[in-house]
Structure 1
C-alpha cells in the first residue's frame, strides 16, 4: 500500500474516499472509484494544501483533465506504479493563492478521468 502505516485518517468534507495525513503529506486512493469521484477528491484534497504539505493521489490513470486547471497554483509529478495505477504528487507553488471554486469538476469530454 502506498499510504504509510503511520498516517492517520482525517475527515475531509466533500470527499468520497478516506483521506490520511502524516507529518507533511495528505493521501487518498481513488483508484477504485469511477468519474467524477477522482476529480472531486483531488479538488477537495488540493484545498488542504499549504506551503508545508503535499498531496498524494493514487488513481487508475493520470488525471489529465485536472492538470491544466490547476497548473497556476500547483506543481505535480506522476509516477507509474507496478499495479497499473499512478501516484500523483501535488505541491502548492509558493506565494500563490488557491481558489478552486471556479474549477469545473464535472466529467465531460477530455476532462474525464476514466
Structure 2
C-alpha cells in the first residue's frame, strides 16, 4: 500500500489497487475522540462505486453508523490483535444524505 495525502486527516491514509478495486485504509486505533469520526468522514468522501475504505479502530465506531447508514454499507470484524476492522462501501453512485461536516461523536 502506498501512503497518500488526504486533506484534513489526522492519521496516515494508504491506497492500494487490486484488480479494479481501489482500497483506502487508515488506522485510528491509537486515537481518542473525535479523531476516529473525523478521519472516517474524511475517508468516506474518497469512495466511489469501485472502491472501499478500511478503518482500523480500538472499538466499534457506533456513533458513526447512524450518520452514514443511508449512503454506505459497512462490515465490522475483529482482528486477531483485538482491534475492530470496518470495511465501508458506497451503496449508490454517490452519497445523497450524509452530512460529512457532522463529524463529532456526541459522546
Same fold (TM over 0.5): yes
1:92 matched residue in structure 2:
90
Q: Deviations over 1:51-80 (max 9, x none)?
A: 100000000011100001101100000011
**Distance (Å, rounded) in 2 between the aligned partners of 1:102 and 1:77:** 20
1:15 is aligned to: 9
Partners of 2:52 and 2:2 in 1: how far apart? 15
TM-score by length of 2: 0.88
Q: Structure 2: which 5+ residue stretches go unaligned?
A: none
- C-alpha change, 1:8 and 1:102, in structure 2 (3 Å) is closer
Q: 2:74–2:88: 8 Å Cα contact kept in structure 1?
A: yes
Give unpaired runs (5+ residues) of structure 1: 1-6, 110-114
More strand by share: 2
Q: TM (normalized to structure 1)?
A: 0.83
Is contact 2:64–2:105 with CA below 8 Å preserved after alignment? no
- The 1:103–1:71 alpha-carbon spacing in structure 2 relative to 1, beyond 3 Å, is farther
